[in-house]
Amino acid sequence: MIKKGLIAGVVLLVVAFGFTWLNNLFPTLSAEYQNPAIFRPWEDPLMMAYFFYPFILGFVAYYLWGKVGKPKPFEFAKLYFWVATLPGMFVTYTTFQISLLMVVSWAVIGFIQAYIAALIFTKVK
């Protein structure tokens, strides 16, 4: 469990950096991330905890993947999306003053992260 969770965490961290770069394709998203009323600045020491998220996701996803019978990666991503991402994004959109574009981008990223994690779980011995 530790090996697969760690590998998934590292890969998901790299993927997160890639998605951050893709935000440049949507200037409104980039501007929204700069809103200090919603997001902490990177200079805030608590923001370092952000880098733990991919590892937490890697371990939790691996645990869930094993509990649901080690499904195919796409099936796992769909399950994760319906159970975790969709409800989370609904409450995010209805409670935070962020754009629909941001919520949709997070939902897509959540699906992709779950899919990548499941791919790793099937490939790593």
For residue range 76-102, list pLDDT tens digits in order.
999 999 999 999 999 999 999 999 999
To which residue do tokens 């995010």 refer?
Answer: 92
Angle, helices 2-22/53-67, rounded to nearest 10 degrees = 130
**Structure tokens, 109:** 């990223």
Report the domain count for the chain.
Answer: 1
Q: What's this model's pTM, rounded to 2 decimal places?
A: 0.89
For residue range 106-118, list pLDDT tens digits in order.
999 999 999 999 9
Residue 38 and residue 98 in contact, taking contact as beta carbons nearer than 8 Å: yes
Identity of the residue numbered 31: A
Residue 103 and residue 93 in contact, taking contact as beta carbons nearer than 8 Å: yes
Q: What is the extent of the structural domain holding 20?
A: 2-123
